[in-house]
Structure 1
Amino acid sequence: MTNILYITASARKDGSLSRMLGDRFVNGWTRRDGSGDVVRRDVGTNPPPIISQDWIAAAFTPGAERTGAQKEMLALSDQLISEVSRADMIVIATPMYNYGMPGALKAWVDQVVRVNETFTFDLARGDYPLEPVLSGKTLVLLTSSGEFGFAQGEAREEMGHLIPHLKTVSKYLGAEQIHSV
């Protein structure tokens, strides 16, 4: 039984290669697996809000000291983190826009990668003060782009920032295994 969090990030509802790849993967997996739940989160057409100064202040305020307004401001973030926490596998189907991730996916990452929720922060750890809270998850990255040659050793390798960025934040999603297509 595999619980899947399936995130789509294309702004295109129709004709999106990354959506097609994601749908095929998730549908094939659930047919093969036969059990588990799939939570679908379409940030491409329903993007989470970008974080703000007030959001950051609320996130850094200890939970017991948060005002009602701060709790309300973090409600969506709490829901998104809960979805990540419950998942065994996170599937992100996304295009690469302008050599990086779509803004809507970045907004989702910012809502989910949160101090004292998905990572802890302690300067006593020296050069690596952040420590992941979640673990044991598999991350599947299904990406598309209008150009080619972004893989390791190819002509545009240094221009493709989508997969490296997602791999960097993956540990704060609890990913221990990463697969990308």
Structure 2
Amino acid sequence: MSNVLVINSSLRREGANSTALTENFLARWRQHHPDDQIQQRDMASQPIPHLDEAMVGAFFTPEDQRSVEQQTLVARSDALVQELKESDVLVLGVPMYNFGIPSTLKAWIDHIARAGLTFRYTEQGPEGLLKGKKAYVLAARGGQYQGTAADTQTAYLKDVLAFIGITDVQFIYAEGLNMGDDQFARGFSRAEQQLDALAI
């Protein structure tokens, strides 16, 4: 039995294409892994605050020297890190906003990319500490960007996940979703084919 952590990063509570893609993935996953524990975190209904000076200061203050306020700030991040550590599979539902990932997802990344907890610096360079996990990125885009220079999401997410030790990453793309009804249908159909081909 595995623990699956799902992060839906759309700003929309309802009707998000990336969330629909995630739900299609989870329907297939449940068929193959009915006993798995699935935990979902929705950024629209459970927003995570972006880092600010107070949070960064709390992170870099030794644990035994933190004020009560700093302990509260760090506790939220610690909980997110623990949630990720306990997962075996990470699923990211990712829309494209202005050629990048949503700031909601960036906020989550900033809270879980913690020196000494999910990565460490060594004489040979940084080492990710969350090895052995599998990640799926379910990317929904209004236009068609896969394989082009405008697709900044793929390289960034590969890099940041590898930085914390997650190197087994698979991308599923639904593209052209804002280019008319026919293209919308084709985009989701191609994504469905990719989902059907997954070895899960």
Residue of structure 2 in register with 1:176 after alignment: 167
Structure 1 residue 173: deviation in Å?
4.2
RMSD of the TM alignment (CA)?
1.5
- Which TM-score applies when normalising by structure 1? 0.89
Render the CA deviation track for 1:43-70: whole Å, top value 9, x for unaligned. Answer: 1332200111121121122223322221
SS at match of 1:175: coil
Q: In structure 2, how many angstroms separate the alpha carbons of the residues matched to 1:168 and 1:32?
A: 29
Among residues 128, 132, 150, which one is paired with 1:132 in the alignment?
128
**Structure 2 partner of 1:121:** 121
- Of the two structures, which has the highest relative contact order with CA contacts closer than 8 Å and spacing of 6 or more? 1
Q: Deviations over 1:10-69 (max 9, x none)?
A: 112222111011011112202211212111111133220011112112112222332222
Larger deviation, residues 38-47 vs 99-108: 38-47
C-alpha separation between the residues in 2 aligned to 1:49 and 1:138? 26
Determine the structure 1 residue equivalent to 2:15: 15
Matching residue of 1:42: 42
- Give the structure 1 partner of residue 77 of structure 2: 77
- The equivalent of 1:164 in structure 2 is 155
Q: Post-superposition shift, 1:143? A: 0.5
Report sequence identity in percent: 30
- Structure 2 gaps of 5+ residues are 173-200
Q: Mean alpha-carbon deviation: is it higher for 50-59 or for 79-88?
A: 50-59
Work out the CA distance in 2 between the residues paired with 1:106 and 1:177.
20
1:147 to 127, 143, 146: 143
One-letter identity of the residue aligned with 1:20 = A
Aligned ranges 1:98-109 → 2 under 5 Å: 98-109=98-109
Question: Greater Rg, structure 1 or structure 2?
Answer: 2
Q: Tell me the SS of whatever aligns to 2:98.
A: coil
Q: Structure 1, unaligned stretches of length 5 or more?
A: none
Asked if structure 2 preserves the Cα contact closer than 8 Å seen for 1:143 and 1:180, the reply is yes
Contact 2:127 2:165 in 1 (8 A): no
* 1:136 Cα offset (Å): 0.5
Q: Residue 172 and residue 87 in structure 1: after superposition, are their counterparts in 2 closer, same or farther (change >3 A)? A: farther
For 2:4 and 2:165, how far apart are their aligned partners in 1? 13
Is the 1:134–1:172 contact (alpha carbons within 8 Å) kept by the matching residues of 2? no
Aligned length in residues: 172
